[in-house]
Every structure is written in C-alpha cells, then in structure tokens.
Amino acid sequence: MEKPLTQHIRADRQPLTLKEYEMAGGYQSLRKVIKAMTPKAVIDLVKESNLRGRGGAGFNTGLKWSFVPADSTTPKYLIANADEMEPGTFKDRILLECTPHQLIEGMILASYAIGANISYIYLRWAYKTAAHALTKALEEAKAAGYLGQNILGSGFNLEMHLHTGAGRYMCGEETALLNSLEGKRATPRAKPPFPQISGLFGRPTIVNNVETLCCLPHILMNGPDWFKDLSRTSDAGTKIYGVSGRVKKPGAWELPMGITMRELIEEYAGGMQDGLRFRGALPGGASTDFLVEEHLDVKLDYTSVAAAGSRLGTGTLVILDDKTCPVGFVKNLEHFFAQESCGYCTPCREGLPWVEKILESIDLGKGRMEDLQLLAFHTKYLGPGNTFCAFAPGAMEPLQSALKYFREDFEKHIHEKVCPYERETLSVLR
Amino acid sequence: MLTTEEKNEIDHAISLVPVRKAAGIDALKIVQEHRRWISDESLRDIAAYMDMSPEELDSVATFYNLIFRKPVGRHIILLCDSISCWVMGYENILQDLSTKLGIKYGETTTDGRYTLLPNCCLGTCDCAPALMIDDDLYRNLTTDQLDYILAKYD
C-alpha cells in the first residue's frame, strides 16, 4: 500500500532535514516541473488528477486554481491554510511537524501554477513544534535556492513567509483567514468576488489546505493516473484518516481514499474499548453530521459520505460510544461553536448561544419537550442560505443528525429530569 | 513607550506585508511576548506606531483568544475543552487542576504563577486529554500527573 505523504516520516517524528528529504526524492518534482512544464500544464494535470481539497470542502484543486486570471500582472498570493482547529482534527499537525519540506515543495509548485510570487503559511499559534520545524525548513530551502529569486535557474521568483495566528477558529475559513492576514478581525467576506479574483490585499489569491498541498509533489512526479489508482473510489489519492474517542488505539493513518468506517475503526483503531459499543461518529470534525451503525460500511470518500447524509470533512473521526451521553456530546460541540462564532451575522451570533443554553437545560434535566422543536427550528434557521458563511450551518450538522439518530436520549433526559449517563461520563479516564 | 527591541521586531513584521496595518496582530503578539499582556497603555503605544486608532487596534486585540487584555500569570495553562478531550474526560483534569491551584477559568493564582484558560481543540485528539503550559504540550493526561507537571514551572 503506497503512502506517499507519510512514508518517509521518521519513527521519532523529528522533522526531515533538507538533506533527508532530498535523499527521499524531495524537490525532484519541482526540478522536473519548473524545467519542463508550463503553469497551464500544471493546472491541467492537477485538475485531471481529481485532487479534492483536504481541508473539508472537497473542491477540485486544479479547478480552483484555474479561476485565477492567468494574464493578470498584479501580485498574486498562495496561502497554505495550516490553521488546523476543527475539533477532533489532528492530521495536518503530523505533516507540518514531520515533513515541512514536503509542504514547502507543494507550495512552490502551487505558486508556480498560479503565478504567485509571495506565499504565506498561516499556522495556528498552538502548533509550536510545527513552527519550529517550518522556520528551520524555510531557512534551508532558501539557502538551497528553492525559494527566492530565479529558482533553479527558471526565472521564477517566490518569497515564502510563516505567519502564526492569534487563536480563533474562524481563521480557518478562507476569507476570514485573508482578513486576519491583513491584520483585521477574522470575519468572513461576501463572495463574489471570490479570492481567486480578489483575495489578500485585493489581489488574486489561492488558499489551500496543508494536506492538499503535500499531495502536489507526488501527483506532478507520478502523474494523474497513478494518483487516481491510489484510491479505491472515484475520489483520487490517499487520505490521512484519524480516529479519536474511546477506541483501543486512537491515531492517524494514511490510507487509500475510500476505506470504510468499519475497517478504519476495527483494523486501524483497534476497535472499541472493552465494554463499549459504537454508537456513532462525526466523520470529519465537529461540523459534520453523525454517521451511525448502519453507515459502518460507508466508504470514507467525499461522494459516498455525502450520499450517506454527512460530509467527509477533514476525515478525522470522533467516536461516540454507548456510555457517553449524546446530549452532552452535542452540547460540548455547540459550546465550542457559540464561543467561536465571530459575531458578524445575527443568526449565528444570537442563535448558537441559544442552542447551547437549550442543550444545557436538557443535559441538566431541566428540558421541556418544546425545546426539541426549538432546536429543530434552529437547525433550519441557522442552516445554509441564512448566514454569512458556512460556520453556523456547519454547527447545525451534528445537532440535526443527533436529533434524528439519538432522539430517544433527548426525550429520556426530559422525561426523567436527569442525564442518565452523567456518572459514566465523569468517571472515564484512560 | 515601546522599547527599541519591540520596535525592531515590529519593523521586521511590517517588512513582510505590503500594508503597515496588516502587521497589527503581529505587533500585539510581539509586545505581549515581552510584557505578558496588553495594557491600555501598551495598546495606545502600539496603535500609534501602526498608524491605527486605539479603538481599531482594540477591536482586533479583543477578537483573538490569545491576545490578553488583562494581566496574566507567569505561565498560561491552556486546557483543551473540545470534543475528543471531553469524551476522554478532560472535566476530571479541570476539576483537579482547579482545586490544586484554587482558581477557575480566567483566573490567576494569588502568587501570580498560573493563569488557567480553556482552549479550543489543540489538534492532538488521539492523545486526549491534552493541555499546554506556555509552549509545552502535555498529552494522554491523567490526574495523577498534574503535580509533576505543575512543579516544572515557577
């Protein structure tokens, strides 16, 4: 089984030095592309490979790039979104900490394709080890002539800077990230214009996720057919999947796109901890709908997970077991969303704290049956089309699916006026 | 007054962006690194240096979770309170930590040693529960490790 993104990661998880990365074939893709391919050819090849954005949206990367005006003479920007902050998600951390040069090479290739001469890595503040690894790798890449003026004698110039954030989930949203890089509050921007036309400082800009960018050197070296063949489904490539929660061996693994949830949990995460049963999972972070037992054989790719009523998102599963309270679980998620809402539009700013309060009442045994209707109302009122960005609709995904799949738990809290799980949840420690 | 060292670091951040204001968040972070928090006086000085009004800069400063507009202790404890850590029982860690230090979220110990804050997902969910103290990450936490961890900081 091929694992292009992670195969060279050292056992001690120390970052690969430039020398080690080059020994493993690093920067060969850049050498090949920068001599032999036009930017247009790079875009076409990536489009054909069917690489889809690994940050969660799953949009075709080459297609996204193709909206950048090729003939524009204004500065253009390429940004790596390394603000990994989706609860339950820990995949980009591995790539950032262990193979910083792979990201840098991917960013140079993406910049070359769209004609960007300035690039930023937007890294979340909490990732200190990654900041360290990236700072060193950027110095090495610059000294080796992979960054700066006239890269490898091609005439292509690229500056790359590391920018660390100041802590806010919204910064991961593409247009909010741009505002944050401009020194503003991280509130989202209206689209159109899309960032590809008017992004950072009003210039054409591409924002790509870390894992997406890390795929590029391999796709351009080995071709689109090789990339498609890595996958078990129509969505190409490998995917870094993760599992957290009360399983025997939580962790992250690079696997063929389209592995099933059952395989991931049973074969890689070692199955549920003794005495616990699988009840459900968020397939790709806090803002995805629950999948439940009947979905265990769903293939974890963008298309199949969408068909099952959820989203692949970041591909890192958070597991709900049968001794953990689903109401408490969702309350924790909505507390997060209420707190991290940027406050820019009213339904999100006012609606989410309301949702959290209702869930808290139910969790404490003070709920009323009408509260369930109120929650259902919010899942529509904060849903797609009613808010400025995808934040609130994302927040409603786990809630609407919890109301559907775990309704009896909500009702039990209300009827018995107490959380039937409380003691169990509090006594759990590994 | 900003020190020469602070100004030099802010100038470097400004050199990386095409618009001076764009380095405003970096300027806040730089000054906070030196002074631990951003007082009203610091805020006014930074704003003047960035060609911004204090109000504009404050709107940015108060937006971000990790810019501190109130005094904090010598060490910041960021306890992850997101979903995977919740499932794995971070509330027990919170309870113990809170009892040991005699503080709740947002408070600082009387000796000025620690400030305790909740934090969104630290991105280490396979090793939950987790917390950070300053730049150090602690994972797979159990309550019996807390004394050992806390003793490292003075």
CB spacing of B123 vs A429 below 8 angstroms: no
Region of A255 please: left (phi>0), alpha (psi -120 to 50) or beta. beta
Residue among B31, B37, B91, B125 with most chain A CBs within 10 A, to mutate = B125
Residues of A with CB below 8 A from B37's CB? none
CB spacing of A242 vs B126 below 8 angstroms: yes
pTM of the model: 0.96
Task: Say how many CB pairs under 8 Å bridge A and B.
Answer: 155
Structure-block tokens of residue A331: 């309350």
Q: Which of A210, A228, A211, A212 is nearest to A2 (CA)?
A: A228
Q: What is the pLDDT of residue A379?
A: 98
Interface of A with B in 200-219 (CB under 8 A): 201
Is the bond into A393 cis (omega within 30 degrees of 0)? no
Residue by residue, pLDDT tens for chain A (430 residues) are 899 999 999 999 999 999 999 999 999 999 999 999 999 999 999 999 999 999 988 999 999 999 999 888 889 999 999 999 999 999 999 999 999 999 999 999 999 999 999 999 999 999 999 999 999 999 999 999 999 999 999 999 999 999 999 999 999 999 999 999 999 999 999 999 999 999 999 999 999 999 999 999 999 999 999 999 999 999 999 999 999 999 999 999 999 999 999 999 999 999 999 999 999 999 999 999 999 999 999 999 999 999 999 999 999 999 999 999 999 999 999 999 999 999 999 999 999 999 999 999 999 999 999 999 999 999 999 999 999 999 999 999 999 999 999 999 999 999 999 999 965 444 433 2
Domains in chain A, CATH or no CATH each: 18-229 (3.40.50.11540), 238-321 (3.10.20.600), 326-429 (1.20.1440.230)
Angle between helix A28-36 and helix A210-222 axes, rounded to 10 deg: 70
CA pair distance B84, B139, nearest whole angstrom: 12
CA pair distance A104, A142, nearest whole angstrom: 11
Domains in chain B, CATH or no CATH each: 4-63 (1.10.10.1590), 75-151 (3.40.30.10)
Instruction: Give every residue of chain B whose pLDDT is below 50, as ranges.
Output: none
Nearest CA to CA, how far is B106 from chain A (Å)? 15
CB spacing of B125 vs A318 below 8 angstroms: yes
Of B24, B123, B127, the CB nearest to A126: B123
pLDDT in tens, B48-71: 999 999 999 999 999 999 999 999
Helices assigned H by DSSP within B16-89:
24-35, 40-49, 54-61, 83-87
Residues of B with CB below 8 A from A422's CB? none
Nearest CA to CA, how far is A398 from chain B (Å)? 12
- Sheet with A278-282, side-by-side order of all strands: A251-256, A238-244, A316-321, A278-282, A291-292
- One-letter amino acid at A355 equals V
Nearest CA to CA, how far is B132 from chain A (Å)? 8
Q: Which of A163, A161, A193 is nearest to A175 (CA)?
A: A193
Nearest CA to CA, how far is B102 from chain A (Å)? 21
DSSP single-letter state for residue A122:
E
DSSP single-letter state for residue A267:
I
Residue B135: count of CB within 10 angstroms of its CB: 11
What are the beta bridge partners of residue A239?
Answer: A255
Residues of A with CB below 8 A from B66's CB? 125, 166-167
CB spacing of A88 vs B63 below 8 angstroms: no
CA pair distance A154, B24, nearest whole angstrom: 35
Of B121, B125, B140, the CB nearest to A430: B140
Task: Say whether residue A128 is in contact with chain B using an 8 A CB cutoff.
Answer: yes
Q: What is the pLDDT of residue A426?
A: 45
Is the bond into A188 cis (omega within 30 degrees of 0)? no
Residue with tokens 């786990």: A398
Nearest CA to CA, how far is B23 from chain A (Å)? 6
CB spacing of A429 vs B143 below 8 angstroms: yes
Nearest CA to CA, how far is A135 from chain B (Å)? 15
Residues of B with CB below 8 A from A318's CB? 83-84, 87, 125
Torsion of CA B119, B123, B125, B127, to 10 degrees: -100
Q: Which helix (H) or strand (E) holds B52?
A: none
Structure-block tokens of residue B134: 């300053």
Task: Say whether residue A101 is in contact with chain B using an 8 A CB cutoff.
Answer: no
CA pair distance A427, A76, nearest whole angstrom: 53
- Contacting residues for A404 by C-beta, under 8 A, at least 6 apart: none
Of B78, B123, B140, the CB nearest to A127: B123
Which residue from B minimizes the CA distance to A273? B88
CB spacing of B64 vs A166 below 8 angstroms: yes
CA pair distance A387, A408, nearest whole angstrom: 30
